[in-house]
Structures are given as structure tokens and as C-alpha cells.
Amino acid sequence: MEANILISNCTIISMTAKGIIENGVIAIKNDEITYVGKQTTAPKITAEKLLDAQGKVAIPGLINCHTHLAMTLFRGIAEDQPLRTWLTDTIWPLEAKLQPKDVYSGALLGCLEMIKTGTTTLADMYYHEDQVAQAVEKAGLRAVLTQGTIEIGDPRIGEKTLKNSISFATKYHGYADGRVTTRLGPHAVYTCSQELLAKVRETASKLNLGIQIHLAESKEMMKQIRKEHNLGEVELLKKIGFLGSDVLAAHCIHLIKKEMKLLAMHNVKVAHNPVANMKLAQGTAKIKDLRDLGIVVGLGTDGPASNNTLDMFETMKVAALLQKLHYQDPTVLPAYTVLKMATIEAAKALGIENSIGSIEIGKKADILLIDFKTPHLTPLHNVYANIVYSAHGSDVHTVIANGKILMENREVETLNENEVIHKAQTTAFRLAAN
């Protein structure tokens, strides 16, 4: 059997019914996994690139279900403020100044951070999204990208931003050898009118594209919607026929049982961003309740301005801790479930579970090797617990995406690390200065 890359001597966390495979081998041919199994029963495999993964654990590349990559530029710029002040006094005025090239350097910094912390797929929503697509292409990552649609009381802005969203989505769907797919993305119920949201739904169905939206994030905004329409955000979306299995709703914090049931009935997917929700003190999404209703929940970081990292290991741990605390029950969201929410369930949330999210034959080769020969990952009693509760993004040793090595022994191969950092730093300071 011939392969391009052969990983040997590793513990494989398959995230399939096969569970954990000790002393495993993984063969990769082009962009696909062509063999997964025990070393002792494997056929003879020859490969151009051999990776001896002694002492390392292979897991599927992590999937970040909600971010705004270019906001790396605003990391640390407005700290410890209420959401409204944070948005109106700092973030929105800065975003108004963003040029396409700025978004590119911010997105590239985000891509670099993702590679260095083991994320291989991201779902992003922002302005100048073509620049994000190009950064993703260069970095070698996989992404579901959305050029945001927003209205803020002016239908002309709504129409213009929807037009831009559609033209981005049609141009970039399948870009970068199919690593990039696109969706439509109305920002939120409180920033888009019913008419605009209905138009987005109609277009998404016609073009067979999914939708990403922020939902039930702020109590204050939800009250405003209820006052204006005498309906909650979810009921409003239901009324206009917006809800569907292709909708990925970020946050979903302030939901009552009835609204959760509506989401479950329409098979809406949820992106849970525990760190950003805690930092902006927006509240705790009831993830156990959502999952008990059968709703697919993937994890996300949200933008690095409200997180302040893109490290999905940190997000996994915080997700678990927050839910345990909220339900006053340490059995809620065990380590394996949390890892699912950053791999196979996250893939389901993005509608790409047939290509990624687990290590199995026929799937795209998106794989991490985590170095377990470190004090904080010793001893190894429970590999899932060590990954979720003890590991950091900096323990990721090697990253493979779409069959290509993006990082080996922490050396990034697709990007010049110093250049990317320097450019982003200069851009961020320039934006903050004037």
C-alpha cells in the first residue's frame, strides 16, 4: 500500500465507534485518510513522509464553530467593559476604519494562532471576507466563511450588504481546492429586519447555502425585540420560516424551554462560545438542556477581541467547567462529550461531518499529534481527561490539514511566523492610533 504520509506508533483517538487505538498507524494519500488501525495488523505501507509519533496522541483536527478571525487585531484593546460600551465606543469605530488589507493581516494572524493551537477548521463571519478566504487558502486551513449582512434600521444598507454576501458566497464556495465553503450570514435578529431575514432565507435555500447568525446573545437586545414584535427572537425566526437544519446559531444563551424545543424541531445547530459569553458576562447557555433535546452543539471561541485567544483546548475546558458549575453537577459534559463538541459534533454543526471530525478511512486527513511527554500530561490514566482538562494548544506538535503538513515539531510550514506577527502588530497599532 502506498501513501504520502505514514504516522506510526501513536495512540489514535478516532472519535468513532472504534474508540482509542493503541500502537496505531494512519496512512494518508493525497488529502484523504486511507488506513487507520493497529500497527500489528496493518498491511505493509510505504510512504514518502514518515512521522514517528512515539509518545504522541493523534486526534482529529479541532473545529472552531464561531469566530471573527480578523478581530485578532483588537485583542486586548478594550477590556473589562459592558458589551454595549465595548461595541459602540471601541469595536464599531475601529471596524469602520478596516481596509481589506487590514482584514487580511488580522486573519493571517488568526490562522497562524489556529495552526499553533491545533484548529484545522473554522467558521468565520466578518467584513471583507474575501481577504479571510485568501488567508485561509495560504495557511492551508479549512473554513466555512460568511460575509456578514447587517441593516441597523436602513434597508438600503441591508440590501447592499446582502448583495455583497451573496456575491462572496457564490464566488468562494469550493475555493482553495474545496477547503473553503461559504454561507450567508445575517448578523443578528436585532440588526436585521424581518424582511431582510426572510430574503436571506429564501436566497440560502435557492443557492443551497447554509446560514450563520448570532442568536439570543444579549438579554437587553432580546427585550427590545420582544417589545417591538411581541415575539421572542426564536419565535420571530420561526414565523418567517427562517429556521432549518442548515442554520448555525451562535450563542443561544437566553432561551426558554419552548424556544429550545423550536430549535430542536427544526434541527437548528448551535455554536457555543463559553469564554466570550463569560467575559462579556452575557450569561450561560444551557448546553445540557439543548443536547438533551437532541440539538447538535459545536464549540467556538467567538472573536479574539472578546476571548482573547483562539485556543480550542482552553475553550473545551471552560465549556466543561461552566456547565458543571451551572448545573451544580460534575457529571454534566464529561471530557469525551466535550471533545466530540470540538470534533465530530462540530463537523455536524457545520454540515461537513461526512468529510471531517473523526479519524477514519475515507475522511479528509485533518489530524493533530499532541505531545504527551510533558509533566502536565503525566500520568496517562484517562486520555480524554488529559486532552480536555490538562492540555493546552501549545502541546500540539504536528498539524495536518487536507493531507498537508501545516506544522511539524511546532514549526509552521505554510506561513512565515515572524512576518505574520510583525505585519499584524503594525496594522493593529496603526488602526488604534488614528
When the beta carbons of 113 and 302 are compared against Zn ion, the nearer one is 302
Strand partners, 51: 7
What is the closest distance, in whole angstroms, from the C-beta atom of residue 41 to Zn ion in the complex?
46
> How far apart are CB 3 and Zn ion at their closest, in Å?
39
Task: Pick out residues in 329-388 that bind Zn ion (CB under 5 A).
Answer: none
Nearer to Zn ion, 276 or 415 (CB): 276
Print burial letters for 260-277: b (CB count within 10 Å at least 16), e (below 16): bebbbebebbbbbbbbbb
Write out the binding residues for Zn ion, residues 235-264 only, by CB under 5 A: none
The residue among 27 and 248 lying less far from Zn ion, judged by its C-beta, is 248
Neighbours of 12 (CB within 10 A): 27
Kindly state the number of chain residues that form the binding site for Zn ion, as judged by CB under 5 A: 1
CB of 83 to Zn ion, least distance (A): 11
Q: What residue type is 7 in one-letter code?
A: I
Give the CA distances from residue 39 to residues 27, 51, 150, 407, in Å, rounded to whole numbers and listed in that order: 11, 14, 53, 24
| DSSP secondary structure string for all residues of 389-424 | II--GGGEEEEEETTEEEEETTEESSS-HHHHHHHH
Supply the minimum distance, in Å, between the C-beta of residue 67 and Zn ion. Answer: 7
15 neighbors 339 (Cβ within 8 angstroms):
yes
Spell 373-391 as b/e; 16+ CB within 10 A means b: eeeebeeeeebbbbbbbbb
Could you say whether residue 95 binds Zn ion (CB under 5 A)? no
Do residues 155 and 177 make contact, with C-beta atoms less than 8 angstroms apart? no
- Of the candidate spans 51-59, 232-240, 295-303, 345-353, the one that interacts with Zn ion by CB under 5 A turns out to be 295-303
Q: What letter would DSSP give residue 222?
A: H
Closest distance of CB 302 from Zn ion, Å? 5
By CB under 5 A, residue 302 contacts Zn ion: yes
Beta carbon nearer to Zn ion, 7 or 65: 65
The smaller minimum CB distance to Zn ion, of residues 60 and 185, is found at: 185
Please identify, using beta-carbon distances, which residue of 27 and 271 lies nearer to Zn ion.
271
Piece of 19-27, 54-62, 184-192, 298-306 that binds Zn ion (CB under 5 A): 298-306
Q: How far is the CB of 253 from Zn ion (least distance, A)?
A: 12
Neighbours of 153 (CB within 10 A): 8
Choices 105-113, 188-196, 296-304, 420-428 (CB under 5 A): range interacting with Zn ion:
296-304
CA angle 259, 292, 217 (to 5 degrees): 40
The CB-of-217 to Zn ion minimum distance in angstroms stands at 8
Q: Give contact residues for Zn ion (rule: CB under 5 A).
A: 302
